[in-house]
Amino acid sequence: MSIVHYQLSIILITEFEGTISPKSAGVRYNANYEFCFSLFMIIARKKTLEIWEKSPVWKDVKRYWELLSVLVPQNLKVRYRGSLLGIYWSLLNPIIMTVLYSTIFGTTFASYYDDSITNYVLAAVNGLLVVNFFNASTTQALVSIVESGDLLNKIKLPIPVFPMSMIGANIFQFMVGSFPLLAIVTLVKTHSLFSVILLLLPFSLLIVVCTGISLFVSSLYVFFRDLSYFYEIATFVAWITSPVFYPPDIVPEAVKPFINLNPLVPVIQIFRQVSLEGRFPESIYLIHGFCSGIIILTLGWLFVRRVQSAFMDLL
Amino acid sequence: MTPEAIRLDHVSLWRRTQEEFSYDLKKTLFSLLQGKYTKPAKKQVLNDINLVVNPGEKIGIIGSNGAGKSTLLKLICGILDPTEGKVRVRGNIAPLIELGAGFNMNLSVRDNIILYGVLLGYSKQEMLTRTLDILNFAELNDYADMPVKSLSSGMKARLGFTVATDTEPDILILDEVLSVGDAKFARKSRQRIDHLWEKSSTILFVSHSLEYIDDLCDRAIWLNQGKIAFQGETKEAIDLYLSHLDVKEYTHNN
Measured distance CA(A92)–CA(A169) in Å, rounded? 18
Question: Which residues constitute the domain of residue A296?
Answer: 55-310
Asked whether residue A214 falls in the same domain as residue A304, the answer is yes
Q: Are B6 and B53 in contact (CB under 8 A)?
A: yes
Of A69, A71, A314, the CB nearest to B21: A314
Does residue A315 belong to any structural domain of this protein? no
Asked whether residue A39 falls in the same domain as residue A66, the answer is no
B250: how many CB neighbours lie within 10 A of its CB? 9
Q: Are B172 and B95 in contact (CB under 8 A)?
A: no
Of B16, B98, B123, the CB nearest to A313: B16
Asked whether residue A299 falls in the same domain as residue A168, the answer is yes
- Say yes or no: B195 contacts chain A, CB-CB below 8 A: no
Measured distance CA(A245)–CA(A100) in Å, rounded? 10
Q: What is the mean pLDDT of residues A61-73?
A: 91
Does residue A40 belong to any structural domain of this protein? yes
Following DSSP, what letter does each residue of B132-157 receive, concatenated? HHHHHHHT-GGGTTSBGGGS-HHHHH
pTM reported for the whole predicted model? 0.82
Cα separations (Å) of A179 from A174, A289, B1?
6, 20, 61
- Chain A residue numbers with beta carbons less than 8 Å from the beta carbon of B3 are none
Asked whether residue A39 falls in the same domain as residue A101, the answer is no
**What are chain B's domains?**
55-245 (3.40.50.300)
- Chain B residue numbers with beta carbons less than 8 Å from the beta carbon of A230 are 25
Asked whether residue A44 falls in the same domain as residue A134, the answer is no
- Say yes or no: B119 contacts chain A, CB-CB below 8 A: yes
pLDDT of residue A16: 38
Q: Are B84 and B11 in contact (CB under 8 A)?
A: yes
CA atoms within 13 A on the CB side of B164: 28
Size of interface A-B (CB pairs under 8 A): 76
- Chain B residue numbers with beta carbons less than 8 Å from the beta carbon of A226 are 23-26
* A249: DSSP letter: G
pLDDT of residue A187: 92
Contact A70 B115 (CB under 8 A): yes
Measured distance CA(B80)–CA(B46) in Å, rounded? 12
- Read off the amino acid at residue A71: L
Asked whether residue A25 falls in the same domain as residue A133, the answer is no
Q: What is the mean pLDDT of residues A21-30?
A: 40
pLDDT of residue B240: 86
Of A70, A152, A226, the CB nearest to B24: A226
For residue range B157-197, what is the model confidence (pLDDT) as tens digits?
Answer: 888 888 877 777 788 887 765 556 677 887 888 788 778 77
Does residue A245 belong to any structural domain of this protein? yes
Question: What b/e sequence results for A197-208 when a residue is b if at least 16 CB atoms lie within 10 Å of its CB, and e otherwise?
Answer: ebbebbbebbbb
Contact A69 B118 (CB under 8 A): yes
Contact B81 A309 (CB under 8 A): yes
- Say yes or no: B229 contacts chain A, CB-CB below 8 A: no
- Say yes or no: B52 contacts chain A, CB-CB below 8 A: no
Asked whether residue A168 falls in the same domain as residue A295, the answer is yes
- Chain A residue numbers with beta carbons less than 8 Å from the beta carbon of B74 are 153
For residue range A73-98, what is the model confidence (pLDDT) as tens digits?
Answer: 888 888 887 677 778 888 888 889 99
The residue of chain A nearest to residue B19, with distances taken between CA atoms, is: A314
Q: How confident is the model at residue A67 (pLDDT cuts 50, 70, 90)?
A: very high
Q: Residue A51: pLDDT above 90?
A: no
Chain B: closest CA distance from residue A148 (Å): 9
**Angle ∠(B53,B58,B59) on CA atoms, nearest 5:** 70
For residue range B98-124, what is the model confidence (pLDDT) as tens digits?
Answer: 655 668 888 889 988 888 888 888 888
Q: How confident is the model at residue A6 (pLDDT cuts 50, 70, 90)?
A: very low
Q: Helix H segments across B46-171?
A: 69-77, 109-119, 124-138, 153-165
Strand arrangement, sheet containing B6-16: B42-53, B6-16, B84-89
Q: Residue B251: pLDDT above 80?
A: no
Q: Are B71 and B45 in contact (CB under 8 A)?
A: yes
Measured distance CA(B203)–CA(A242) in Å, rounded? 57
Q: How many domains does chain A have?
A: 2
Contact A74 B107 (CB under 8 A): yes
The crossing angle, in degrees rounded to 10, of helices A200-223 and A161-173 is 140
Asked whether residue A137 falls in the same domain as residue A262, the answer is yes
* Helix H or strand E segment including B58: strand B58-62
- Say yes or no: B84 contacts chain A, CB-CB below 8 A: no
Asked whether residue A104 falls in the same domain as residue A20, the answer is no
Asked whether residue A210 falls in the same domain as residue A294, the answer is yes
Cα separations (Å) of A128 from A56, A87, A122, A145, B172?
40, 16, 10, 27, 51
Of B15, B80, B118, the CB nearest to A70: B118
* Helix H or strand E segment including A10: helix A2-19
- Say yes or no: B145 contacts chain A, CB-CB below 8 A: no
